[in-house]
Structure 1
Amino acid sequence: MKILCIIQARMGSERLPGKIMKMILDKPMITYTLDRTMTSKYIDEVVLATTENDCEDPMVEYLEANYYNVFRGDENNVLKRYVDTVNLYNGDIIIRITGDCPFIDPIIIDQVITYFLTNNFEFVRVDVPENFIRGFDVEVFTRQALEKVYDISRNIEGDSPYKEHVTLYMYKHPEEFIVGKFEGSEFYQKDYRLCVDTKEDFELVRLIYEHFKNKYVTSKEIVQFLDEHKEISQINQGIKQKHV
């Protein structure tokens, strides 16, 4: 059984273009997401899945030059991009992470994988934002569940949110899958925002990394830091997550 992590990312963000390659401590932000994920004890391989657009070239060239796995596929049909990546890298259990989560925590990833495997789920997601801080988002699903959703989507003409959002069909149709939610302890049930969609989000992330100067700072250390430095945690407090 191969556990494959696919991190989706692109340069063409609407609210903060090029955010993936913005520099933190002399390294592009995307490398923090990749490197932290790669320290998971259970993930066998990590791939960044991006689009075939020319605007991705600087990111792809940098990552390939630094020996990261990169797959390029469909821009709008992200579901197809995932299926094509899985077909190439042959994953059995798929981990989905987005590239705008530079504090993704391998300990949380491994806890979610364990929860998924011990309960024989087909799909599990971290319960963000209800019971977990946004930015520690992880989803785990079987290859079979992914292929089932893809087959359904192929009968939908034109654009569809199910093609753009890989797992949307799974959690909109829990009666068709064995679905679980991974909830955090009270420690993680706080109204912080640790993903990067805007300049305010990026500023908060940058300040945290500049404080710790450690690419592998833990989620607990980050949350404790925000608890003690409200002036930093409030930098992006007014930012609203885009709705699916």
Structure 2
Amino acid sequence: MSAVGVIIQARTGSTRLKNKILIPFYQDQGILEILIDKILHGLTGTPIVLATSTGEENDILADLAARKGINCFRGDEANVLKRFIEASRHYKITGAVRICADNPFLDAHYLSQLVNYAEAHEEFDYISFQLSDGRPTIRSHHGFFAEFVQLSALRKVQTVTTEPSYLEHVTNYIYENPADFNIKWLPAPSVVSNRLDIRLTIDTEDDFKSAQEILKLLGKAPLQISLNEIIDVVDRHPMLITKMEGQIKANEK
């Protein structure tokens, strides 16, 4: 039986906005703490691991994990694939829900849907949401969704490639070589399935400010905010779209 766990990929050394996941985002909470609270609230009983590097600059992340009562694994800085495999082995996780630490608006409903589907369908190597144009949501700028991958699939990637981009971007090889893996695509909700103008993943100071502006407009804590509410407020404030489109162009994946 598959043992599903959440692995949060995190580090402090972002080149575009240093310490972006620790800077106060809502009240005195940083993005990473908000994300952990959201996962803890939405996935009772699911193991959670914060996977960071061994560099001393990430000691503060290990301290945060301990304070929040979740597991922490420290591994290779550049070879994130290796870090994920070792974290999974260490905590006896056979199927990992991969979450990026710079997504404060990760949607708890669709996170639960992904976990439930993965637990019910062990036959799939990789499960993710997909936009209407066929791209995985992880290749969008949305920041709303996680992805699921079996440890066996990650091990397979490790044996067939040493390409640096595949070692850094854990799941890219899998969905770029679909004939070699059993992949399941779940349809993204219609409200965002064809939206290429939404950017709520946080890489830059402008991203950070735009996300905070959305929080202010909604007047609610991040834990209480749904994907639909975010899209509604963005569509009612066209300047937010303009800012996001500028950041998408500057940070194209």
TM-score by length of 1: 0.88
Task: Report the count of equivalent residues.
Answer: 239
What is aligned with 1:174?
178
Aligned pair 1:17/2:18, yes or no?
A: yes
Residue type matched to 1:75 in 2? Answer: E
What is aligned with 1:44?
46
Aligned pairs for 1:1-244 (under 5 A) are 1-24=2-25, 25-41=27-43, 44-116=46-118, 117-118=120-121, 120-127=123-130, 130=133, 134-153=142-161, 156=162, 160-189=164-193, 190=195, 191-210=197-216, 211-216=218-223, 217-240=225-248, 241-243=251-253
C-alpha change, 1:12 and 1:118, in structure 2 (3 Å) is same
Residue deviations 1:81-129, cap 9 Å, x none? 0011001111122101100111111211122334444483211222269
C-alpha change, 1:42 and 1:148, in structure 2 (3 Å) is farther
Structure 2 Cα separation of the partners of residues 77 and 129 of structure 1: 31
Indicate the larger mover: 234-243 or 140-149: 234-243
Structure 1 Cα separation of the partners of residues 85 and 4 of structure 2: 14
Q: Is the 8 A contact 1:3 1:43 kept in 2?
A: no
CA-atom RMSD in angstroms: 2.2
Give the CA deviation at 1:26: 0.9
Structure 1 Cα separation of the partners of residues 23 and 209 of structure 2: 11
Residue deviations 1:63-98, cap 9 Å, x none? 323433221110000000001100111112210110
Q: Is the 8 A contact 2:142 2:198 kept in 1?
A: yes
Q: Is the 8 A contact 2:198 2:245 kept in 1?
A: yes
TM-score by length of 2: 0.85
C-alpha change, 1:160 and 1:103, in structure 2 (3 Å) is same
Structure 1 Cα separation of the partners of residues 43 and 178 of structure 2: 29
Q: Secondary structure at the match of 1:71?
A: strand
Structure 2 Cα separation of the partners of residues 65 and 111 of structure 1: 27
Percent identical among aligned pairs is 29
- Structure 2's unaligned 5+ residue stretches are none
Residue type matched to 1:168 in 2? Answer: N
Q: Is the 8 A contact 1:83 1:150 kept in 2?
A: no
Give the CA deviation at 1:43: 6.5
C-alpha change, 1:42 and 1:173, in structure 2 (3 Å) is farther
Give the CA deviation at 1:160: 1.7
- Structure 1's unaligned 5+ residue stretches are none
Indicate the larger mover: 183-192 or 130-139: 130-139
Structure 1 Cα separation of the partners of residues 175 and 45 of structure 2: 23
Structure 1 Cα separation of the partners of residues 44 and 174 of structure 2: 23
Structure 2 Cα separation of the partners of residues 138 and 232 of structure 1: 24
Residue type matched to 2:102 in 1? Answer: D
Give the CA deviation at 1:206: 1.4
Q: Secondary structure at the match of 2:41?
A: coil
